[in-house]
Amino acid sequence: MQNAPSIFGYQWCRWRWAGVLAWLTALKLAGAPAAEQYHRYWGDVHGHTIFSDGKGTAADYFQYARDVAHLDFVIVTDHDFGHEAPWRMPKAHWQQTQAAAEQYTVNGRFVAIAGYEWTSQPKYWRGFTNAASEGLFPGPPCYYNHKNVYFPKPVDYLFSAKDVAYLTPDLLAAAVQRAGGLIQNNHPSAEVEGRDQFDYDGRWFSVIANTEMLPDLMRYGGKTYALRGEETVRGFLNRGGRTGFVGGSDTHEGRPSARTAVLATALTREALFEALRHRRNYAVSQAQIELDFKINGHWMGEEIAVTNPPHLNVAVQGTAKLAEVAVVRNGLVCHRVTPAGNEVRFTWRDNAFAGAAYYYVRVTQADADEEGNPSRAWSSPIWVKAR
């Protein structure tokens, strides 16, 4: 409540105004595209500084994000093990990171967010025999992979993967939920290092809200590597998992770049967290492709019920010619458009909808980076079921 005026008519005025506003809002929704409710903010959700294995300070990182990369927001995520023996991030470093994020945040202009990378490693378990075990936990090793954790407000200390109280994704998620933060799965892997990365309870889907999206194939140094990132995420979705998609540079050079677009009401930490929690965001691999995706008027990230076949609405504004815009349903491409230029808009009704499905949109441009990789964008999924 703002400045409650001390007049008798206040409550009445407030309710009356609420009614008028609701009516105006209904008019606006009926007459204008709902996209006006949200702005598209560009950021990077993954990167390191000298407080783990990166270069530069948190202040350098935020300054580069704001002044060089021209991002709207950025999340700094150093490894929870810090950068030197005894391989735990000192509390002072965590607090300096948070203080720098506070200092650089100016609502409406630039938002800096303090986070860290929960870095689970199999060598923490005594049963890990391939190399020297750190002997922290009994039993055979787990392969939970890494997860970024971030908070809208300063918290006393991070929840480390080396601490028995937070050693599993379930334990971590419970602690992060209590602190009001969010988690994302990092660099999903089809190899053994990612074996247990999605091993968490469905009640945490709103806390472990997003997953970093990587292409299935990637060229580097003249060779093609099978990362199978998207395939790994699709596997999780096919098993009933819920996750939105974010992109991160994982820079260790202090050079964050635009990899995640968030559709939020305002450029504040609260609004960005609200959007990320609801998966109203998407990932890009390099170019800042504008992508809008809705089903029956609902945003990416939502779970909806329908009475008729779902009606998909897609709008893409690329930075180069678009090679393909594909709609993925339950893990398979169900509709494909090959636009003639940099932009495309289409609607499509899925008459083959069979009662329950998730859909996401994948954009591929006809460009190439210095390694030969095309720019891509992946919308967060929308889950649809028959009413």
Beta-sheet strands, E only, within 124-242: 146-150, 182-185, 208-212, 217-220, 223-226
Q: Where do we find the tokens 């290092």?
A: 193
CB of 250 to Zn ion, least distance (A): 4
Closest-approach residue to Zn ion (CB): 146
CB of 52 to Zn ion, least distance (A): 8
Q: Which are the contacts of 176, defined by CB distance < 8 A and separation ≥ 6?
A: 149, 151, 159, 182, 183, 207
Using the rule CB under 5 A, is 350 a contact of Zn ion? no
Q: Which residues sit opposite 356 in a β-bridge?
A: 385
CB of 148 to Zn ion, least distance (A): 8
- Nearer to Zn ion by Cβ, of 251 and 379: the residue is 251
Using the rule CB under 5 A, is 72 a contact of Zn ion? no
Site track for Zn ion across 162-201, x = CB under 5 A: ------------------------x---------------
CB of 27 to Zn ion, least distance (A): 46
3-class secondary-structure state, position 29 = helix
Cα 194 from chain centroid (whole Å): 18
- Nearer to Zn ion by Cβ, of 184 and 186: the residue is 186
- Nearer to Zn ion by Cβ, of 79 and 234: the residue is 79
Give the chain's radius of gyration (CA, Å): 22
Q: Which are the contacts of 238, defined by CB distance < 8 A and separation ≥ 6?
A: 330, 331
CB of 222 to Zn ion, least distance (A): 25
Beta carbons within 10 angstroms of residue 251's beta carbon? 23
CB of 347 to Zn ion, least distance (A): 39
Using the rule CB under 5 A, is 146 a contact of Zn ion? yes
Residue 214, CA distances (Å) to 83, 174, 261, 285, 377 in order: 26, 27, 15, 7, 10
The span from the CA of 195 to the CA of 218, in Å, is: 21
Query: In which region does residue 98 sit, left (phi positive, over 0), alpha (psi from -120 to 50) or beta (all else)?
Result: alpha
- Nearer to Zn ion by Cβ, of 257 and 364: the residue is 257
Ranges within 228-267 binding Zn ion (CB under 5 A): 250
The one segment of 81-89, 138-146, 262-270, 345-353 that binds Zn ion by CB under 5 A = 138-146
CB of 272 to Zn ion, least distance (A): 20
- Nearer to Zn ion by Cβ, of 250 and 292: the residue is 250
The one segment of 117-125, 202-210, 229-237, 374-382 that binds Zn ion by CB under 5 A = 117-125
**Are residues 314 and 300 in contact, defined by beta-carbon separation less than 8 angstroms?**
no
CA triple 279-253-48, angle to 5 deg: 50
Site track for Zn ion across 354-383, x = CB under 5 A: ------------------------------
* Of 87, 154, 170, residue with least CA distance to 121: 87
CB of 54 to Zn ion, least distance (A): 8
Before 310, cis peptide (omega within 30)? no
- Nearer to Zn ion by Cβ, of 264 and 284: the residue is 284
Residue type present at position 167: L
The one segment of 67-75, 115-123, 269-277, 345-353 that binds Zn ion by CB under 5 A = 115-123
- Nearer to Zn ion by Cβ, of 44 and 117: the residue is 117
- Nearer to Zn ion by Cβ, of 228 and 298: the residue is 228
Q: Where do we find the tokens 């702005």?
A: 39
The span from the CA of 328 to the CA of 335, in Å, is: 7
Q: Where do we find the tokens 């060229």?
A: 219
- Nearer to Zn ion by Cβ, of 146 and 278: the residue is 146
CB of 203 to Zn ion, least distance (A): 25
Number of residues near Zn ion (by CB under 5 A):
4
Interaction site with Zn ion (CB under 5 A): 117, 146, 186, 250
